[in-house]
Structure formats: C-alpha cells, structure tokens
Structure 1
Amino acid sequence: MELPVVQPVTPKERADAVANRQRILDAATRLFAENGVGCTSMDAIAAAAGVGKGTVFRRFGDRASLALAVLDASETTLQEAMIRGPAPLGPGAPPRDRLLAFGDAMLDRLEEHHEILLEAEISHGSYLRSEPHAVHRTHTRHLLAQLRPDADNEYLVDVLLAPLTARVFTDQRHHRGLTLKQLKAGYADTVCRLTRDC
C-alpha cells in the first residue's frame, strides 16, 4: 500500500513582507512611468518605497526582474478587472462596450508601461504565444463571436489586438506623435467598423 504524498506547505509570507513588496512595486511603477526603466535606480525605488536597498535586491534581484514584476502585477490587475470587475470592462455590458473598454484599458496600460512592455515583446520573441496574449486573444475572440458570429474571428482578433501591442503603440505614440486620445478614438472606430455595431 502506497502512502499518500504530503504536499509541501508553502510558508505564509509575513504581513510586513507583503506590505514591503507592494510598496516597492508601487514605487517602481510610478518611477518607471516618470523616468523610464533605464533612468530609475534601485536606490531611488528603495527611497520612494521607504525600505532599504537591500530589501529591494533581496526581493527582486535586479532592476530587470523588478520591471517584469511590475508588468506581472499590472497584467493581473487587468485580467481581474476583465473577469470580475465592473462593467463595461468586466461582465454585464454589451460585447461592443466591453471591447471598447478593453481597448481603453490596454492603451492606458501601454501609456504607463510601454517601455517595459516593449522590452518584454522584444526580449521574449514568443510574445504572441505568451500566456497574457493568449488571455487577451480568448477575451477578444469571445466578444467578437457574439458580435460577428458569421465572420472569421480567428483573423479579426489579430486585427483588433495588433494596435494594442507595445511595438505599434510606441511607433504611433512616441515616434509619430499621436495622442492617447487619438489612439483610443482610432481603436473605437476600428471596433465599430469591424463589428458593424456602431
């Protein structure tokens, strides 16, 4: 008779450690947005978070790892809003309104984190096969299927997600000078035309 395997118990993190981690992530998010990742030191992040530099290094290792942690946190927040948040980004709104809210949320996220997101897309060549992108594809495909059950939504989902990538956003926003308002209006117009639901 085989004995059951006892799963190792993951030690619960202390409340102060959880609070420190969140303070570090909040400070890094703000400073990365204000100064860019390359111009933000770990010293500055530690000072803004009110913790020692050693705490930041022990927790995250280096600036690149901290930047990815900021990205993970913002992706988790976005997905939580899509799945359980209030309408129109969350459930309960018409599919077109949800697509528009998703586009707005993605563009806001790009505005805040475009440098980190661009680095993630470039460094990890398989971005289009990444878990976050798969979630975005599934969400968009689900909403499109409700609006255009007759269409090739496998293709249309790519059309709607392409302008929400960091490469396209960075070119439009930072090289060609389009405003965030223009990008949101353009995305809304694209959704309207593709879904024929204006």
Structure 2
Amino acid sequence: MTERKPRKDAARNKAAVFEAADELFARCESPEAVTMADIAAAAGVGKATLFRAFGDREGLIGALVEARLEPVREAVETGPPPLGPGTAPLLRVPALLDAILCFKYDNRHLAVALEGAGGNSPYRAGHYGGWHSTLRTLLEQIPGLGESDFTAHALLAATRADLVEHLAGALDTPRERLRAQLAAFTARVLGAGHPEGAGEADGGSA
C-alpha cells in the first residue's frame, strides 16, 4: 500500500496538470503567456512538482500533446479505414493530414506552443519526425509520385500550427472550410504523380 499511494497521487496530479494546461492554453491570448507557475496554480500542485515530473515547460507541453494525440496514433496503427492499416495510400494520406489538421485546429494554442518550443522551429517538435516518417512511407507506395521525403515535408507544412492559427484565428476560417481546402490541396499533390487517383484522394479525406 505504501508504494501504491505515491503512484496514485502522481497519476492524479498528472491528470490535474493536463486538465489545467488544456484550459489555460484554450483561453490564453498568446501561448507564450502560459507559464509553469500558472499551470501549477491552476492544477493545485507545487511548481517543483511540475519540474520533477516534466523537466521544463517544453517537456510538459510535449507530454500533454503526446497524451492528446494518442487516439490519433492508435487509429493510424491499429484502427479501421481510412486511417488504419490496409487502407490504400491515396485514401490514407489525406485522412492522416486531415486528422493532424483537426487536432491542431481544436488545440491551436497548445500546438503553437509545442511547435515554438524548439527554438521556434516546428521541425524540432517531438511529434514532427514521426508524422513525417509515416507520411513518407505512405507516399513511397504511390506509383509515379516521387520525391516522397520532400513531398511529406510540403504536405505537413500545410498543417503547421502557426498557419492553422493564422487561418483560424486571424482570418476566422471555419474548421470545415480548412478541411476542404487541405483535402483539395492534397488531392492536387497526389494527383500530380498519379492522375487517375486524384478524384479518389479528394473524396476520401472529407
């Protein structure tokens, strides 16, 4: 029993921290304004507890994003179509990009904070390498496309958190319109290498 209580306390504290951080980032004017002290106070834990558990602000944000992205990862790894294994790449690529876009749209300030934590470079964010690798592997399976590494970077650039924040926040673009625009863009990119698949890719990402 003496060993279980600290683990239960740690799990409870972690859940409280994540919930507090979610709310603070959702309500903030600027992601940079949310501090470790703010999160600790909102969660009802000591600031030292945060640093022991997550190392620093970047570590906390990264852990929170990983936890919130877990359903998307599970869908990609073991889920049904169109995200899951066994789906044709021309359908799976736009579905993956749509899932990433939706996550960033729904968690805009959190995503901006994560992608700005690594020296203001989204390419150093913890999730980027994994998504790029997954997308590149799928693109390599599309005949005639070519340049899968660069194409993966270019497609992911359309889901950058700062771009999503600009379109959704500054320009007030509705979520569904952004999804449709990304689907059309993705279809054009995939269709350039595989013309007969362009219509199929567009229809599979709605």
Task: Indicate the TM-score class for this superposition, using the shorter chain for normalisation.
Answer: 0.7 to 0.9
Q: Which runs of 5+ in 1 are unaligned?
A: 1-10, 47-51
Q: Which residue of 1 aligns with 2:113?
A: 119
> Is residue 59 from structure 1 mapped to residue 49 from structure 2 by the alignment?
yes
1:72 to 46, 52, 66: 66
Q: How does 1:45-194 map to 2 (within 5 A)?
A: 45-46=42-43, 52-54=44-46, 57-61=47-51, 64=57, 66-125=60-119, 126-194=121-189
Q: State the TM-score, normalizing by the size of structure 1.
A: 0.74
For residue 176 of structure 2, give the secondary structure of its aligned residue in structure 1. Answer: helix
User: Could you say which structure has the larger radius of gyration?
Assistant: 1
Aligned length: 181
* Aligned CA distance change for structure 1 residues 23 and 98 (closer, same or farther; 3 Å): farther
For residue 164 of structure 1, give the secondary structure of its aligned residue in structure 2. Answer: coil
> Which stretch shifts more, 17-26 or 99-108?
17-26
CA distance in 1, matches of 2:10, 2:117: 30
Q: Which residue of 2 aligns with 1:5?
A: none
* Aligned CA distance change for structure 1 residues 34 and 88 (closer, same or farther; 3 Å): farther
Q: State the TM-score, normalizing by the size of structure 2.
A: 0.71
Shift of 1:195: 1.5
* Aligned CA distance change for structure 1 residues 148 and 176 (closer, same or farther; 3 Å): farther
CA distance in 2, matches of 1:35, 1:122: 15
Shift of 1:130: 4.3
* Aligned CA distance change for structure 1 residues 35 and 122 (closer, same or farther; 3 Å): closer
Shift of 1:161: 0.7
